[in-house]
Structure 1
Amino acid sequence: MVTAEASKAPAISPLAVRERTGWISTAEIVSVLKGEIAGLHIRQAFSAEVAEVITASFFRNPGLKERKDGVPGQYIGASHYRKDAATYFAEAENARPFVDAVFDNLVDPVRGLFDALKRELHNQGIELRLARSEHGQANICRAICWSGTGMYALEPHDDVAQVLCAGKDYELAAVASNTVVALNFYPSMPEEGGNLRIWSHKPTVTERKSQGLETTGYPYSTAYLEAVPCHEFELKTGDIALIDGGFIHGVTRQSGNEKRRLLLNCFLGFAQPDLVLWWT
């Protein structure tokens, strides 16, 4: 039986996106953090040589694991998704040497961006740091290959639900009241597909409940999104994408050659007016 709430068409939210070529600027990141831009795609943001080293390091890394939380993919690092704080931070501590090994002694683009943003925010009286608890500290990123085999390599979802319902032991839960930003670096992309699709819809708690996705925000059905406009970022190796994770987004099916879609991912957002947290 479909409830009255579930039968309502999803509300359309304006989707301000920006795409260009070159290195990402800290000012652009701040614009996404403040909700001024919903999606940012920077082409050729880091070199092919760096991308090749990261990709080779990922596939030979002894810390490479298969996800077992209902979201198909391989990963190195830790995810807070559907975990209590003690479990997540313990996994982050255990995974730290494997995450570091992904960069194989490079001056990596993730830490370079983190350090630049930290300096920029410090000048504005705002602290940027990794999320932490008595159990440990978050890693600077995780490395992931999504492996869904249907219409999407990663089904449509939002990132706010999992933050909002993270639990009282997580300081990052406060970010859900602001903009939860997903930041992705792409060291490897297939010839076709694997694009980041973002829909013009930011579901409310009530709308998540109507879909049975209150605590996870994953996955939204194609029927639910049928009438919602979307924008697709056509990604290539060396690109960076930054989005407001409150908007529903997903990854299109990949095809074309044997190259895998590999991304380095992290989240960030304001927990307080003078504090931005960064986690995975």
Structure 2
Amino acid sequence: MVTVQAPQAPAISPLEIRERTGSISISEIISVLKGEITGLHIKQAFSVEVAEEITANFIRNPGLRERKDGVPGYCIGASHYRKDAAMYFADSENARPFVEALLGNIVDPVRGLFDALKRELHDQGIELRLTRSEWGEANICRAFCWSGTGSYALQPHDDVAQVLCAGNDYELAAAANNTVVALNLYTSMPEEGGDLRIWSHKPTVADRKSQGVETTGYPYSTAYLEAVPCHDFKLKVGDIALIDGGFIHGVTSQSGNGKRRVLLNNFLGFARPDLVLWWT
């Protein structure tokens, strides 16, 4: 007699969520990096005027293109997702002028946050830098407008699988052993929806294998997550969100005033106790 083992229910991991309004706390960002906070939502973190200028730069940017890697959306900049290091860094070099045009000459929140975090970490004996290789260096950010249909504009996924399976040519692969942080800055939001949803589940390698997403972390089925509690970040223009990208997360469907959901994004994480890497 053969015993058929039922699929194991996803393990529930508690979420430590912080939401605040106003100035950015670098110490809280470091707490996300260290895995002490699961999600940090900073409301009104940068000005609507700056957000509108970045959005306008996004819409008219000649580097704006549709993603061709199975994830529906439009982007400016490079993604390491499903690419070897040589291809990623070549894409990063090609995208550099478009990313610079996206941010323009404004005092933008991405470079401001990078510089502030770099100073704070330096005081603690920790280096923060863009990830690099013999082929080049990462950009400081990329920009997205997700275009998925149905319940999710961006389906549920985790960010660790793609880092864990990035390959030895990537120095960022070491960050998969620690907390991989996704940093999002919102420059345009629809009237309704477009929430960042995070589930109380941090999948293991075995979990990813069971769902057929071992190397990509994308996408998890809604059936798999049906019994898992979740938290929705209700986002507005000028907000910043940082999450532990090891937890499954996605973007709810959007509707309303016709405005696009545009965000700037990058990843960061400890590669060594004395080194934090920043990449896209």
Which range, TM-score by smaller chain? over 0.9
Give structure 2 stretches of 5+ with no counterpart.
none
Q: Name the aligned partner's letter for residue 42 of structure 1.
A: I
Summarize the alignment of residues 89-168 of structure 1 with structure 2, pairs less than 5 Å apart. 89-168=89-168
Rounded Cα–Cα distance in structure 2 between residues aligned with 1:235 and 1:52: 15
- Residue of structure 1 equivalent to 2:78: 78
Secondary structure at the counterpart of residue 210 of structure 1: helix
Secondary structure at the counterpart of residue 224 of structure 2: helix
Secondary structure at the counterpart of residue 116 of structure 2: helix
Paired-residue identity, %: 81
Shift of 1:89: 0.3
- Residue of structure 2 equivalent to 1:176: 176
- Is 1:221 aligned to residue 221 of structure 2? yes
Shift of 1:150: 1.3
Secondary structure at the counterpart of residue 276 of structure 1: strand
Rounded Cα–Cα distance in structure 2 between residues aligned with 1:259 and 1:212: 34
Secondary structure at the counterpart of residue 41 of structure 1: strand
Q: Which runs of 4+ in 1 moved over 3 A?
A: none
Q: Deviations over 1:220-258 (max 9, x none)?
A: 000000000000000000000000000000000000111
Shift of 1:129: 0.2
Summarize the alignment of residues 1-280 of structure 1 with structure 2, pairs less than 5 Å apart. 4=5, 7-280=7-280
Rounded Cα–Cα distance in structure 2 between residues aligned with 1:4 and 1:90: 46
Rounded Cα–Cα distance in structure 2 between residues aligned with 1:92 and 1:4: 45
Q: Deviations over 1:67-102 (max 9, x none)?
A: 000000000000000000000000001100100101
Rounded Cα–Cα distance in structure 2 between residues aligned with 1:187 and 1:31: 24
Secondary structure at the counterpart of residue 53 of structure 2: helix
Shift of 1:117: 0.2
Rounded Cα–Cα distance in structure 2 between residues aligned with 1:155 and 1:206: 20
Aligned residues: 278
Q: Deviations over 1:118-139 (max 9, x none)?
A: 0000000000000000000000
Secondary structure at the counterpart of residue 68 of structure 1: coil
Rounded Cα–Cα distance in structure 1 between residues aligned with 2:206 and 2:124: 36
Rounded Cα–Cα distance in structure 1 between residues aligned with 2:27 and 2:69: 35
Shift of 1:192: 0.4
- Aligned CA RMSD, in angstroms, stands at 1.0
Q: Deviations over 1:153-187 (max 9, x none)?
A: 00000000000000110000000000000000000
Shift of 1:107: 1.2
Rounded Cα–Cα distance in structure 2 between residues aligned with 1:32 and 1:52: 28
Shift of 1:23: 2.2
Rounded Cα–Cα distance in structure 2 between residues aligned with 1:18 and 1:254: 24
Rounded Cα–Cα distance in structure 1 between residues aligned with 2:17 and 2:68: 33
* TM-score, structure 1 normalization: 0.98
Rounded Cα–Cα distance in structure 2 between residues aligned with 1:265 and 1:150: 23
Secondary structure at the counterpart of residue 128 of structure 1: strand
Rounded Cα–Cα distance in structure 2 between residues aligned with 1:252 and 1:23: 27
Shift of 1:104: 2.1
Q: Name the aligned partner's letter for residue 260 of structure 1.
A: R
Rounded Cα–Cα distance in structure 2 between residues aligned with 1:34 and 1:105: 32
Rounded Cα–Cα distance in structure 2 between residues aligned with 1:261 and 1:150: 16
Q: Name the aligned partner's letter for residue 152 of structure 1.
A: Y
Shift of 1:14: 1.1
* TM-score, structure 2 normalization: 0.98
Rounded Cα–Cα distance in structure 1 between residues aligned with 2:198 and 2:204: 16
Rounded Cα–Cα distance in structure 2 between residues aligned with 1:14 and 1:182: 18
Rounded Cα–Cα distance in structure 1 between residues aligned with 2:148 and 2:58: 19
Rounded Cα–Cα distance in structure 1 between residues aligned with 2:57 and 2:96: 14
